[in-house]
Structure 1
Amino acid sequence: MYLCMLNSQSPEMEKPPLLFNFKIILLLLTQSLLTTSSHSLNPTTVTFSVTEYGAIGDGIHYDTVSIQTAIDSCPYSIPCRITFPSPGNYLTATIFLRSGVVLNVEPGATILGGPRQKDYPKESSRWYVVLAENATDVGIAGGGVVDGQAEKFVVRYNERKNVMVSWNQTGDCLGDECRPRLIGFLGCKNVKVFNVTLNQPAYWCLHLVRSENITIQDIAIYGDLNIPNNDGIDIEDSNNTVITRCHIDTGDDAICPKSSTGPVHNLTVTNSWIRSKSSAIKFGSASWFEFKHFVFDNITIVDSHRGLAFQIRDGGNVSDIVFSNIKISTRYYDPLWWGRAEPIYVTTCPRDSTSKEASISNVHFINITANSENGIFLSGSKRGLLRNLSFINMNITYRRFTSYAGGFFDYRPGCQELVKHKTAGIMMEHIEGLEVRNVEMRWEKNDLEQWNNPMEFKPSTVNNIHFSNFNSVVYSNSKSSQ
């Protein structure tokens, strides 16, 4: 099949010039940056300290009332900074930001989220340690820490995946994900989160919902690798977002655009480091509306269960996406976690019999280096094709080094779930238009029996493929791929 495949390129498909691909990056990056504005603090900003309002900061007594009183004392017409002095551990129930208020957590100071359900509002949709709703010009900064105390939500430690507290017995939520998020901006404009560390979220960490004009800069997120659902940054129904110079080390998806009630447009992520026990970057799986105009550039992904991922399950189309200058290493973890070590995973299939099929089009992977235990998985659906994908200037090394079993296609959630199948370098189905240019695959000699062909697909479902300078080589020194 491999030799036939190399001769299967369509004569009608012209090879676009390389310059064209970089123009795509420049266009999308410029558009995203122009539509996202930074908002610096006004020189006339007033500052209040939470200790002036009675906060103790001993990590034992709740400081909620003092913190909220300080916030509510801010004048409505002037930007206001609420300072958490160092040293101090400020234990709190949910605190509510309002327009013009920025929390300034000093280095050496920590906001601690309470572990009790009564520390949070009645509605589970408002379970956050820090919450801003329908606010403008809000944020968090200062060099300190916001900590969700996730360890206090562990019911039983488990080597495969910890069992966590669920508050669903109250009827306020369903399933096993009923825990508070760390920080939420809901329906907000001009949001800025910078120079702050977000630690140990019990559930999602930083949640941006139906918000506009967001800057996330110079932050660090640390979540327990064995705690499920502790996503790093979830961009849900939000537009015009820039994420830069961030360090995200967490158990579940690290950066995750979702479209639940509206589209997601103009997201730029640059100069960041990511590790995840699920996907480092994941579109979906909530995907009812479109995703458009995204740029991911200069990103390092380390020891993740999946690198760059699309889980489109609900009918929302995806288009005009660029991934460039990205280093990826992926590995197998326990199959309880979604992902099978794919460095690139592009899938669209209906979640269930009631779901629509969506398309993914104009997605470009340029200057990608990957070291992986599994191959690239590209899977459209019969009425939801993958269209106009390109892999340009890529170097992929395949090497097994964990003892977890391979040999599965992972369609989760929904679709066909896990399907036993020998893996290949690139596995493809339901594609219309694919360019592979200046791509080298490297295979460790000792692992060859675990792999199928460098590329594998059913000719009846894949059309218009173009190959230029594609190379597949075997090497014998495993240390050379590290």
Structure 2
Amino acid sequence: MTHTFKVLAFLGLALTQILAKDTSAQKANYQAWPSTLPQVVVPKFKSDTVSITKNGALNDGLTLNTESINRTIDQVSKNGGGVVLIPRGFWLTGPIELKSNVNLHLAADAFVSFTDDLTQYRLIETNWEGLAAVRNQSPVSGTNLENIAITGKGIIDGNGDAWRMVKKEKLTDSQWNKLLASGGTLSEDKKIWYPSESSLRGSKVKGAGVISAGKSLKDYEEIKDFLRPNLLVLTNCKKVLLEGVTFQNSPAWNLHPLMCEDLTVRDLQVKNPWYAQNGDGIDVESCKNVLIENSVFDVGDDGICIKSGRDEQGRKRGKPTENVMIRNCVVYHAHGGFVIGSEMSGGAKNIYVSDCTFIGTDIGLRFKTTRGRGGVVENIFIKNINMKDIPGEAILFDMYYAAVDPVPLTGEKRDAPKVVLLPVTEETPQFKNFYINNVVADGADKAIFVRGLPEMNINNLFLEDITIQSKEGIKIEEAKDIYLKNVKVVTSHSKPMVNISNSTDISFDQLSYKPGAEVLFNVNGQKSANIQVANTNTSDAKVVSELNQQASKKALKIKANKTK
């Protein structure tokens, strides 16, 4: 049985029908980690090495080396491939364009700095947040390539400060005053700094940069500075290696592989200021066969993120991100440590995350989507995760993503979304078949948050061997077939410890909590049913259960436990 489940999981087949035949006890013991993982092909290169100095590059920090670097890459590619060497030193450059069969190798103490002269970056048609869009050319890019790499021990710096807007709330007074003294301009409410008038104008345009019929690239010139590029964009490339290098200070996302196959990312340092708008670490979009390992992310938005296009365009592309392995990575500041969404309209499946540590990320494990996306996220396997000092949720599933920072700023108020039942269409997203095992979190605002849609519940979540110290406990809304086994949540002031709304087939086995809980279970809504609790000492709670909002007395069943 176990071996059969592993094979099915690896092949990405739907598990729902099979699991439906099992008992709740069997489901709660379900082990999903496969014995065989996807294989990723690593590129190989000729040993022939050409230094960029052969084409006149100078490491004085003044000379713009764009032509020298690109000429060297082009020559090596045309000669059958090999290594393009960037020696130690300070190399100023404009956009670099990769070519097939070339390994761009940065020697130790090689510092590649991209110019703050924004005229060096031409407007191009590309992709931004899952939609076809006009943006500035990326500092490093490659399209329709095969057998490419960026390796070494050097640093690639995107000079993102020349591009990014900054929110006042994210800086100290002295940092804000220093920023104002550097130039730029402010929004009307004086709360956001923009590096130029062009950037400010773009902020006022709805859907700025999104390609629309009848417009040419020239029509976007007036807001050019607002259309920030990602530091590295690789589109439709095969056999890619990123190894050893530090990528930092990006204008927007740091690393964006799009529709790539056989991608290996290892031993990277990926950095951005924590206040960097859209400063993601890596966004793997509609890619197949991916390995990310032994890397460190410290950024201004999501750390390691899985995407697959947005709304109708993503569904039309129809390319899920699949067969992804992420292991032995550390994420420091980020909106999420490991993230799927919210642009996941092409789907995501067969993703394996293990042995990672998240320190100070706003959310630990973050799965987000919203109506309109469509797409199916399934067969996600996660184990051996450490977390420390998480300002938001340790584990979050949310189908009401609203494109705001995950942790409200000081004084910011947010209302819960209005729950309305809508018809299921191709625009309805789905989250199902997640297995999360062995998570330890020391410090979080909320332990576990699951919020589905009334027309499409989040379903088939397996959470086992979880220990979380947090302010608040577990909240489950509009969900089905949720299995929690050996979950321990130590809360500082949670009432109730577990809050369930309009959810069915919820199983708790060996739930542990801090003695003295005011209320252990709060069950809400007419739809709530078949909530089972086993092997749990309920006598340590002042009140075991409360039923509200027309919840049935039969909704909650506690089996052979000590109760008051």
Match of 2:52 in 1: 50
> C-alpha offsets along residues 307-338 of structure 1, whole Å, 9 cap, x if unaligned?
11111221111100011000113443xxxxxx
Instruction: Report the residue type matching 2:155 in the other structure.
Output: V
Match of 2:555 in 1: none
Q: How does 1:28-177 map to 2 (within 5 A)?
A: 30-32=36-38, 34=39, 36-39=40-43, 41-42=44-45, 44-76=46-78, 78-86=80-88, 88-123=89-124, 124-125=134-135, 127-154=137-164, 158-160=168-170, 163-165=193-195, 167=199, 171=220
Stretch moving more, 117-126 or 150-159: 150-159
Aligned residues with identical type, % of pairs: 24
The verdict on how the C-alpha distance between 1:318 and 1:120 changes in structure 2, with shifts beyond 3 A counting, is same
Instruction: Report the residue type matching 1:219 in the other structure.
Output: L
Match of 1:453 in 2: 496
User: Unaligned regions of 5+ residues in structure 1, if any?
Assistant: 1-9, 333-340, 400-423, 476-482
Q: How does 1:345-424 map to 2 (within 5 A)?
A: 345-349=396-400, 356-371=427-442, 372-399=444-471, 424=472
Which among 513, 517, 540 is matched to residue 472 of structure 1?
Answer: 513
TM-score by length of structure 1 reads 0.81
Q: How does 1:289-368 map to 2 (within 5 A)?
A: 289-313=346-370, 314-332=373-391, 341-349=392-400, 356-368=427-439
The verdict on how the C-alpha distance between 1:176 and 1:441 changes in structure 2, with shifts beyond 3 A counting, is farther
Match of 1:241 in 2: 290
The verdict on how the C-alpha distance between 1:436 and 1:203 changes in structure 2, with shifts beyond 3 A counting, is same
Match of 1:205 in 2: 254
The verdict on how the C-alpha distance between 1:154 and 1:12 changes in structure 2, with shifts beyond 3 A counting, is closer
Instruction: Report the residue type matching 2:270 in the other structure.
Output: I
Instruction: Report the residue type matching 1:182 in the other structure.
Output: L
Figure out how many residues of one structure are paired with residues of the other and give that number: 419
Per the TM alignment, residue 26 of structure 1 is displaced from its structure 2 partner at its CA by 2.1
Q: How does 1:416-435 map to 2 (within 5 A)?
A: 424-435=472-483
User: Unaligned regions of 5+ residues in structure 2, if any?
Assistant: 1-19, 125-133, 172-191, 203-218, 310-316, 403-416, 517-564
Per the TM alignment, residue 264 of structure 1 is displaced from its structure 2 partner at its CA by 1.0
Larger radius of gyration: 2
SS at match of 1:315: coil
Per the TM alignment, residue 115 of structure 1 is displaced from its structure 2 partner at its CA by 1.8
Match of 2:280 in 1: 231
SS at match of 1:171: helix
> C-alpha offsets along residues 152-186 of structure 1, whole Å, 9 cap, x if unaligned?
33566734267344646572597996212211111
Match of 2:558 in 1: none
Instruction: Report the residue type matching 2:347 in the other structure.
Output: E
Instruction: Report the residue type matching 1:359 in the other structure.
Output: Q
Per the TM alignment, residue 283 of structure 1 is displaced from its structure 2 partner at its CA by 1.1
8 Å CA contact 2:163–2:225 kept in 1: the answer is no
TM-score by length of structure 2 reads 0.70
Which among 470, 477, 487 is matched to residue 439 of structure 1?
Answer: 487
**2:475 & 2:155 partners in 1: Cα distance?**
43
8 Å CA contact 1:233–1:255 kept in 2: the answer is yes
Instruction: Report the residue type matching 2:456 in the other structure.
Output: G
8 Å CA contact 2:77–2:100 kept in 1: the answer is no
Per the TM alignment, residue 122 of structure 1 is displaced from its structure 2 partner at its CA by 2.1
**2:308 & 2:461 partners in 1: Cα distance?**
22
Match of 2:503 in 1: 462
The alignment status of 1:25 with 2:33, answered yes or no, reads yes
**2:465 & 2:225 partners in 1: Cα distance?**
43
The verdict on how the C-alpha distance between 1:395 and 1:157 changes in structure 2, with shifts beyond 3 A counting, is closer
SS at match of 1:185: strand
- Structure ranking higher on relative contact order (CA contacts 8 Å, 6+ apart): 1
SS at match of 1:16: helix
Per the TM alignment, residue 92 of structure 1 is displaced from its structure 2 partner at its CA by 1.1
